[in-house]
Amino acid sequence: MESGKNWYVIHTYSGYEKKVRDNLERKVRSMGLENVIERILVPEEDEIDIKDGQKRTVRRKVFPGYVFVEMEVNDRSWYVVRNTPGVTGFVGSATKPVPLEPQEVWRILSSQGIEKEARPEITVEIGEQVRIVSGPFENFYATITEVNREKGTLKGLIDMFGRETSVEVDYSQIEKSLE
């Protein structure tokens, strides 16, 4: 299984998201897995509800039926999460959970007012060549055509089936090529 911490999505029975989060946090502490399963998140947002002419603010789950977990996937951590009451499984395949893309994680965390660790700052220039080290274009070399420092992404051209194809990748997915 994969090493390194990524964010994964676990599916829960609807309405059990907070119960799953609390049970999982207790399990992590009691089993000493704090360095393997780091953060557990049930994203919520404020919504204005009007009932009987009265305005009130209520907290609503952004993704009902889902809990986000930052963890290192190994046999033990997978088993602990999978066997937490209320969890129906990981989003992805049955045998290997699929991690969220870095830009999805950043969007979710920032919507919750949680600062992700500093975005990797990279100094690259248009025309420079980089190697893609993760994601669907892993091990491709791209020639940079555009850099978006605000989003932490860049666009580049890769050679796919003998044709130049434009791709967009997160800073965390590339490394500078050694010419």
| CATH number of the domain that residue 35 is part of | 3.30.70.940
Average pLDDT of the residues in 34-40: 92
Structural domain range at position 144 = 128-176
DSSP 102: H
Q: List, for residues 107-161, the tens digit of each pLDDT value.
A: 888 777 776 555 555 678 899 999 988 888 888 999 999 988 777 788 999 998 8
Q: Number of folded domains in the chain?
A: 2
Does the residue 120 lie in any domain?
no
| Residue in 128, 119, 127 with CA at minimum distance from that of residue 149 | 119
Distance CA 143, CA 129 (A): 4
Does the residue 83 lie in any domain?
yes
Verify that 168 and 105 share a domain, yes or no.
no
Does the residue 98 lie in any domain?
yes
Verify that 136 and 50 share a domain, yes or no.
no
Interaxial angle between packed helices 17-30 and 75-82, expressed in degrees from 0 to 180 and rounded to the nearest 10: 140
Residue partners of 171: CB distance under 8 A and separation at least 6: 119, 120, 121, 122, 152, 153, 154
Verify that 35 and 59 share a domain, yes or no.
yes
pTM: 0.60
